[in-house]
Structure 1
Amino acid sequence: MSPILTGRRAAAVALTALLVPLAACGSGEDKPAADASASASAPASAEPKAANLTVLAASSLTDVFKTAGAAYEKAHPGTKVTFSFAGSQELAAQVKQGAPADALVTADTKTMDGLTAETGTPAIIAKNRLVIAAGKGNPFKIDELKDLADTKLKVVLAAPEVPVGRYSKEILDKQAVTVKPVSQEPNVRAVLSKVELGEADAGLVYKTDSAKSGDKVVSVDIPDEQNAVASYPAATLKGSKNTEAAAAFVTWLSSPEAQKILQDAGFQKA
C-alpha cells in the first residue's frame, strides 16, 4: 500500500473519531428541548369526566336549583345533575342511611355540622331570610310577628327539627311571641302550600319561597333585627362514586355564574 493512501486512511479514521462524540452531544441537547416542548403543550388541568350526579338539596332550593342544574349541564356536556329535594333533616337521615348520592346542600349549618363523618369540607353558597306568608289579600291585616299570636288566626309552622322551623322558633322567642300552630310541617314548601290553599291564615317561610307564590300569598317582611339568617352549606359526600365531578359541581356553586342565578332568585350573597 502506498504511503499516500496510508496517510489518507489514517486521517479519515481520526476525523470519524472526532465527529462521533460531537454527534452524541448534539443528540443529548435535542432531547431536553423536545421534553420541554411536550411539557408546555400539556394542559394545566383536566376537565372532570362526565358523570351522572345526584344532589340532595333543601326544599327551599327547588326552583333555583332546577335553573342552576340546567346551566351546569350546558357548561359541562355529558354531565347530568339530578336533584332530590326534601327538608334538611330528611336529607341528613338519608345520608346516614347510606343513600347513593354525590353532594348535599342543606338550609342550615347545624344539620351539615352533624354529618362531618359523611361529607367533605362544606362551603356556604347562599343565605336567606324569613317572612310572614299571609293568605291571599292578607284579610287579617298581619303586619308584624306579634300579630301571629292572635288566637283567631290559623298559623302553620315547620316542625322544630326542620331548619326553617328552628329559625321560626328562634325569632318568635326573641320577640316573646307565643304561637300555637294548627300544624307543624316537614319542610318549608309544605308550610307555604297550607297558606296558598287557604288551610292556614299565615305561616313563616323563606323569602325566596314566598316570592314564588305570586298573588296567592302576601309577603310581610320581618325587620332584620327581629329576623334570622339562614345559611346554605354545600359539600361533597364521601360515599360518592363520582368524587371529582361532585367536587367540581360544589365548587361551581360559588362561581359568579351560579351566584348570579341564586341572587336573581332572591337569595343573598354568601
Structure 2
Amino acid sequence: MRILSALTAVALLGLAGCGDGDAPAAPAAAPGVTGGVTVFAAASLTESFDRIGEDFEAAYPGTKVTFSYAGSSQLATQINEGAPADVFAAASPATMKTVTDAGNGDGTPVTFVRNQLVIAVPEGNPKGVTGLADLTRSGVKVALCAEQVPCGAAAKKALDAAGVQLTPVTLEQDVKQALSKVKLGEVDAALVYRTDAKAAASDVDGIEFPESAGAVNDYPMVVLEDAPNKAAAQAFVAYVRSDEGMAVLTAAGFQAPR
C-alpha cells in the first residue's frame, strides 16, 4: 500500500510499497481486479483506510492501493482540476457535490459512515474543559478547521447551535492539522472528529458535548468518471462497505450510515 500527501500525489504515483497486516476474511476476489487503485480520502479516514488498504491488497493479490489524504475540499479541487484518481471518499455530501456537479463522479455516491465532533484537549484536560462554553474562557487557545473544510462546517454548526462565539487562534485545512496543534501543545483545545481523538488517545482526551449530535457528518464515496482502473476502484468501494471494511471503521469510532 502506498500513502501520499495530497500535494505530492500526482508526482509520486510511481512509488510503491506494501502493507504487512493480516487481512480478515474478505469478499471473493472478482476476476480481472489487479493493478493500482488511487484513493483520494478525507484526512479523518487515514488510520482506518490504511488498514483497509492492507486488507484489500491481501484479498486481491496483484493490487496496490495509493492513498492521498487531505481536507476534502482540497481533494475535490484537485479532482476537478484533473488529478488522476480512482475513488473519492469525502467527509461531507456538500464537498462530494462539487465533484459530481462537475461531472467527475461515475454513478451516485454512497454514504458509508458518519462521524461526530468532540473537543480534543491535552491528556488530563489541564484547562478543565467540559463543553463549548469553556472554549471562550480567557486564556483558552482553540484551533478549528477552516469553514470550507467539512470539520470546520460541522464546528460552526455546533457552535451556532450552542450560541457560542469564539475566535480561534488558528484555522486549519484538515482535521489532522487541527489535532496536531493540541498534540504539540500550541493550543488548549480543538474541535475534531471523535475518530481522530480516539486514534490519538495516548496524547489527547476527547470531550463529548451535546451539540455535536446536530452536526454529524455523512461520508460519501464514489468511483470517479475518469478512473484509470475502474474495476479495482469498484472493488475497493465494495470492500470498504463489506462487513470486513465496516468492522475496521466502526472499531475506529465511525458510525454506520442511517
Letter in 2 for 1:105: A
**1:114 alignment partner, SS class:** helix
Aligned equivalent of 2:3: none
Is 1:74 the counterpart of 2:61? The answer is no
- Give a deviation string over 1:134-179, Cα, whole Å, max 9, x none: 1231111100111112132101101001000000000001111011
> Do 2:116 and 2:213's aligned partners in 1 also have CA atoms closer than 8 Å?
no
1:178 to 133, 150, 165: 165
Is 1:150 the counterpart of 2:137? The answer is yes
Check 1:46–1:58 CA distance in 2 against 1; reply closer, same or farther (3 A cut).
closer
Aligned equivalent of 1:264: 251
**2:202 alignment partner, SS class:** helix
- Give a deviation string over 1:186-218, Cα, whole Å, max 9, x none: 100000000011100001000010011123212
> Do 2:105 and 2:224's aligned partners in 1 also have CA atoms closer than 8 Å?
yes
Aligned equivalent of 1:104: 88
**How much does 1:46 deviate?**
5.3
Is 1:236 the counterpart of 2:223? The answer is yes
TM-score for the superposition, normalised by structure 2: 0.84
Give the greater-gyration-radius structure (CA).
1
CA distance in 1, matches of 2:228, 2:142: 44
The structure carrying a bigger helix percent of its residues is: 1
**How much does 1:223 deviate?**
2.0
> Do 2:43 and 2:71's aligned partners in 1 also have CA atoms closer than 8 Å?
yes
Check 1:136–1:179 CA distance in 2 against 1; reply closer, same or farther (3 A cut).
same
Q: Kindly report the root-mean-square deviation, in angstroms, between the aligned alpha carbons of the 2 structures.
A: 1.4
Aligned length: 226
Seq. identity, %:
43
CA distance in 2, matches of 1:69, 1:160: 30
Letter in 2 for 1:263: T
Question: 5+ unaligned residues in a row in structure 1: which ranges?
Answer: 1-44
Aligned equivalent of 2:105: 119
- Give a deviation string over 1:25-70, Cα, whole Å, max 9, x none: xxxxxxxxxxxxxxxxxxxx95233120000000001111000000
1:131 to 92, 110, 118: 118
CA distance in 1, matches of 2:222, 2:80: 15
CA distance in 1, matches of 2:62, 2:187: 44
> Do 1:155 and 1:181's aligned partners in 2 also have CA atoms closer than 8 Å?
yes
**How much does 1:83 deviate?**
0.4
Check 1:253–1:226 CA distance in 2 against 1; reply closer, same or farther (3 A cut).
closer
TM-score for the superposition, normalised by structure 1: 0.81
The worse-fitting range, judged by mean Cα deviation, of 246-255 and 153-162 is: 246-255
